[in-house]
Structure 1
Amino acid sequence: MGWNTLDDIDLKNKRVLTRVDINVPVEDGQVTDATRIERIAPTIADIRAKGGSPVLLAHFGRPKGQYVPEMSLKPLVPALEDAFGCSVVFVERPSRDFIDAQASDAVIMVENTRFSSMEEANDPQMAQFLATLGDVFCNDAFSAAHRAHASTTGVAHLLPNCAGRLMQAELQALEAALSAPKRPVGAVVGGAKVSTKLDLLENLVKKIDVLVIGGGMANTFLAAQGADLGASLQEADLHSTARDIMAAAADAGCTVILPVDGRVAREFAAHAAHEVVTLNADTSLEADQMVLDAGDASAAQIAQTFGTLKTLIWNGPLGAFEIPPFDTATVAAARAAADLTNSGDLVTVAGGGDTVAALNQAGVAESFTYISTAGGAFLEWMEGKELPGVAALMQ
């Protein structure tokens, strides 16, 4: 595995500097969705059960090295106390003397690390100061692992370190999905634009057996083969890139699945009048027609393909899932993947904001093997990039 967990380090009577992600939505000083806080609760509980005292480090928003009152972590304390079932000591200007004056199992919350410009610069001075606040460093913030900051990588090099429970679960799920997956392994990559996922597609076709392309991205691939898709969202300047990706997939023995039909409408609106049309290189839509979702035959083909796989990675919807009925293909495919996961035939790992929203909408998020709430870090991991926050934990 290459990294320590909370089980590998003696935490008794230790102050455990714990990097967490508690970037939660707040309205009128109240946390409106505590999911990210709830997900770190097992790490906090384990550190305390092992005799340690968690000293939490986190950022909130983008204060750009300035003190911004509305980005203080202080209003989050009640939500932290609810999730952890214990009191939380908040400290604006931490010192080791202050920390050592607290109870031996105290949970201490340090103010927003990004109030210092040294944080994002990964300034060695800040890393050294943070290291004085604890005896052990625990990183439980996979979602910040693609950033080389003082509180994610700098301090990790200065103290004995380990992954927290959430980071451990994330890394184990990702290793099972792409580093050493059960084959055949497939991926669904959807969303609006090819341009945002070029690195991802180029990396995946070399590592997986089947690639399902959906959403506006699929339009670009179909148009690159000669289809006239009317007013559909597509990137004309990326047609040659799309053909290159198809060629690379063919060379690597990766099957690419594009929609064979689509839901087509003349307006981008909920319940717009629509029809299902065949999609291929010869398709010619009228100037005001738009493909807004994969069709029923495509959804059936995708579901059938899932049945041939052992591992599935999912990033991005198959259509404009925010507006019905253009969520139909995404929901149908997600339910097919969930059924196979529930029956033990498929390992499913999904990530990215839109993806999580789409799976929640389909009512299947609970059925997937693992859902990552880390947007950028999940994408960079899928792109095959080294994540500094993970690399810093490597033994």
Structure 2
Amino acid sequence: ADVYVNDAFGTAHRAHSSNVGITKFFVKEATGAGFLLMKEMAFLVHAIEKPVRPFTVIMGGAKISGKIDLIKSLAEKADHILIGGGMAFTFLAAPPLEQDVGGSMVEADKLDLATEIMSFCADRKVDLVLPSDCVAAETISNDAAVKNLPIRSLSGELKGLDIGSQTLKTFESIIRDSKTILWNGPMGVFEFKPFENGTRRIAEILAEVTQSGATTIVGGGDSAAALAQFGLTDQVTHVSTGGGAALELLSGIKLPAFEALKGE
């Protein structure tokens, strides 16, 4: 072979013989990034490093675990960070808020980290927005009996399983005022019909603001799956093809495959 082109973004965060080792057999000028790799860099690095403001990050998913560096890295750049999904309840249960969140999922060993992130955002004047209400149920199923409740009304076995109507209005207002939006992680257990509304509406709102000229970037994984489920994949500016690779790149971590192409 005379030339090596890497276009596998999904594995760019792993050092394999096929994306790192192989580059040692070529002079630097004979290696390069493919169109997909260049597109991912354009949106996940350049659009985020110098965003058209206001820049809003929508963060969801079940856990804070694995997203600490990501949130801190984005807090250095964002104007607003909207938190939904299961991870929101760890923030709500952490000092100084210490809310009773009923049977909602809380990472008890991550409460200190949640407090640290809230302080980190406050110090940088970043608007960190947590849910004020939620769609709650005692069980996760398609026929669950659900209630839209203020967070403060959660108790006993009631779990928050999607963002509520008031939270959605707050999030929508901020998103519509933004010029660059990054979304990573669903707002609830969207795989079940009673808890899909928050995630679906966020996807629909992103599609609408894209039409109005905003740059909308969706991280891989569950967010991309949600867009596909609601038939909106081609309605946003960019959907990343990498889950772990996108998270690491957005967290400010250098990806082995990219560094290898630079000869480093």
Same fold (TM over 0.5): yes
Q: Tell me the equivalent position of 1:206.
A: 76
By how many angstroms is 1:284 displaced? 4.6
Q: Tell me the equivalent position of 1:116.
A: none
AA in 2 matched with 1:167: L
Separation of aligned partners in 2, 1:182 and 1:376 = 25
Q: Summarize the Cα distance change of 1:325–1:176 in structure 2 as closer, same or farther, 3 Å threshold.
A: farther
Q: Tell me the equivalent position of 1:249.
A: 121
Q: Tell me the equivalent position of 2:21.
A: 154
Q: Tell me the equivalent position of 2:163.
A: 294
SS at match of 1:211: strand
User: Is contact 1:264-1:274 (8 Å) kept?
Assistant: yes
User: Is contact 2:9-2:241 (8 Å) kept?
Assistant: no
Give the alignment partner of residue 258 of structure 1, picking from 130, 141, 152.
130
Give the alignment partner of residue 7 of structure 2, picking from 140, 151, 162.
140
User: Is contact 1:261-1:276 (8 Å) kept?
Assistant: yes
AA in 2 matched with 1:334: A
Larger radius of gyration: 1
AA in 2 matched with 1:150: S
The 5 Å alignment of 1:305-316 reads 305-316=174-185
By how many angstroms is 1:286 displaced? 2.4
SS at match of 1:195: coil
Give the alignment partner of residue 318 of structure 1, picking from 187, 191, 209.
187
Long gaps (5+) in structure 1: 1-133
Task: Note the aligned Cα RMSD (angstroms).
Answer: 1.4
SS at match of 1:256: strand
User: Is contact 2:133-2:167 (8 Å) kept?
Assistant: yes
Give the alignment partner of residue 229 of structure 1, picking from 94, 97, 101.
101
Identity of matched residues, %: 41
AA in 1 matched with 2:201: A
Q: Tell me the equivalent position of 2:230.
A: 362
Give the alignment partner of residue 195 of structure 1, picking from 65, 89, 93.
65
Q: Tell me the equivalent position of 1:268.
A: 140
Q: Find out whether 1:172 has 2:42 as its counterpart.
A: yes
Stretches of 4+ aligned residues off by more than 4 angstroms = none
Separation of aligned partners in 1, 2:48 and 2:132 = 27
CA-to-aligned-CA distance 1:51-93 (integer Å, 9 cap, x gap): xxxxxxxxxxxxxxxxxxxxxxxxxxxxxxxxxxxxxxxxxxx
User: Is contact 1:330-1:358 (8 Å) kept?
Assistant: yes
User: Is contact 2:54-2:178 (8 Å) kept?
Assistant: yes
Q: Summarize the Cα distance change of 1:286–1:175 in structure 2 as closer, same or farther, 3 Å threshold.
A: closer
Separation of aligned partners in 2, 1:352 and 1:328 = 20
Separation of aligned partners in 2, 1:368 and 1:334 = 9
Separation of aligned partners in 1, 2:175 and 2:88 = 18
User: Is contact 2:45-2:249 (8 Å) kept?
Assistant: no
CA-to-aligned-CA distance 1:131-151 (integer Å, 9 cap, x gap): xxx111101011111112222
AA in 2 matched with 1:140: D
Separation of aligned partners in 2, 1:267 and 1:382 = 34
The 5 Å alignment of 1:39-54 reads none
Q: Tell me the equivalent position of 1:35.
A: none
SS at match of 1:162: strand
Separation of aligned partners in 1, 2:209 and 2:219 = 18
Q: Summarize the Cα distance change of 1:195–1:175 in structure 2 as closer, same or farther, 3 Å threshold.
A: closer
User: Is contact 1:293-1:318 (8 Å) kept?
Assistant: yes
Between the two structures, name the one with larger relative contact order (CA 8 Å, sep ≥ 6).
Answer: 2
Q: Summarize the Cα distance change of 1:274–1:289 in structure 2 as closer, same or farther, 3 Å threshold.
A: same
Separation of aligned partners in 2, 1:361 and 1:167 = 25
Long gaps (5+) in structure 2: none
The 5 Å alignment of 1:43-122 reads none
Separation of aligned partners in 1, 2:75 and 2:143 = 35
Separation of aligned partners in 1, 2:211 and 2:24 = 41
TM-score by length of 1: 0.63
By how many angstroms is 1:347 displaced? 0.5
By how many angstroms is 1:357 displaced? 1.0
AA in 2 matched with 1:206: E
Give the alignment partner of residue 328 of structure 1, picking from 188, 197, 203.
197
By how many angstroms is 1:373 displaced? 1.8
TM-score by length of 2: 0.93
